[in-house]
Amino acid sequence: MSDIRNQWRDLVRRHALNFDQPGNDRFWSPELETASRERLREIQGEKLALAYRYLWECSTFYRGKFEQAGLGPDSIRGIDDLTRIPVTHREQWLVDQEEHPPWGTFSPLRQEDWTERGWMLFTTSGTTAAQPRVFRHTTFDRDLWTWLGARALYAMGVRRGDVAINCFGYGTSVAFWGLHYALNLMGVPVIPGGGSNTERRILFINTYKPTVLTCTPSYALYLGRAMEDAGLSPQESSIRLLVCAGEPGACVPATKKRVENLWHAKMHDDFGCTEVAMAPLGYTCSEQVRKTDTPVDTHLMEDAAIPEVLHPDTMEPVAEGQAGILVVSNLYSEAQPILRYVMGDWITVDSTPCACGRTHARAVGGLQGRNDNLLKIRGLMFFPAVIEDSIRRLVDVGDEFKVEITHRDSMDHIKVTIEPASQIPKSSYDPPRERVARALKGSLGINVEVEVVPYGTLPRTQFKAQRLFDMREKIGKH
């Protein structure tokens, strides 16, 4: 193992305080989670400088990027040098993997590291390319990932004595594994529901009484409704906390409220991404989750990552409190200490301390939506979550909906298909249709066509939901 690799691993491990158990009853790692802003910058700067040298020596891809930017092996000495490093886009990794199959050269991981200390391979969905992006991780990554996940779950209120049912899929996606290993470290037993169908998961909940449910927001609704259809009450079940990832629903006020009312339990958000933040980059705390009618903020794990908010066109930093796209540097991985990766999610940051006592910056309202999902219709710009929030505020409208955007007669049009909240005759469809139309006119500022279909018509989803269909590109008019 190279000297720089050892130095990097030693530095990361030295900053992993309270690695095996919580420091007190409020914080898993109190010294880190309540550190001053100055101390957090010191930690970030120390890690950044060594991560840069590690990539310079061990990643052909990144050394090439650094040299093209006019940087040398010792150009990055602290946090003030961060913006000298060029940003990285996912498309650059795709090219690198295509030219250097199967792994590419962006990771500093060597083949001998993978065969001697490898833990697991993860991939993206592969929906944007024929070949999914592939990421290898070592047991060192697993241990750091586990520790960071436990910190996030502890902030949510998960404790010894809880039992969790993990309903994320068992496979090459990150969600199942991060939660499973973190719960193991916390001493929380896990019912692995990933390979089971909904009926069996209902049986597990009803029989074995788990107190924590992990799943996507869409599946939380789906599973709760399925329990009701089976004659059981999710409100009266043993579930007291929901840990949700994969979709923004936990930070969409109306969706959060609907899920919490359905389960009579608090709903938390846990977000990251396969490329750079495999452990939680953002997570809600027990204070933020108390909000009911306003968006919750998610804490950012700033001792383990550097989040930046940049203008999407200039890629220059924006002032705190202004919205921009999220760029992240990973400060804990052996296999993937990626610097300045463009996640592309819109975010607004607040660095004032939270009521829970944590000093790390917060994403106001969580992730607001991906930049490539930002909709522009008739000169107006908004994210799909605005539509979701407007619809789910209406109690007589069902959980599922579909949004179709078309271009005809030289104008963009939005059609929203909804269901009533229960079986009602077609003669009663007008009130929910009119309420949704008014709500969307108020939130979007334009008229929206609304169609009501019978309850149970729209497809239900067990994983990430696709509810928006933009047909404008398909017909060549955007």
Tens digit of pLDDT for each residue in 46-82? 999 999 999 999 999 999 999 999 999 999 999 999 9
Band of pLDDT at residue 1, cut at 50, 70 and 90 = very low
pTM for this one? 0.89
pLDDT 10s digits, 386-415 = 899 999 999 999 999 999 999 887 788 899
Please state the domain extents for the chain: 375-470
Mean of pLDDT values over 374-388: 83
pLDDT range class, residue 462, cuts 50, 70, 90: low
- Name the CATH architecture for the domain at 375-470: 2-Layer Sandwich (3.30)
Residue 127, pLDDT > 70, answer: no
Q: Which residue has the higher pLDDT, 43 or 389?
A: 43
Tokens of 170: 């068992």
What percent of the chain is predicted at pLDDT more than 90? 76
What is the predicted pLDDT for the residue at 130? 53
Per mean pLDDT, which range of 43-52, 206-215, 383-392 is the poorest?
383-392
pLDDT in tens, 252-308: 999 999 999 999 999 999 998 888 878 899 999 999 999 988 889 999 999 999 999
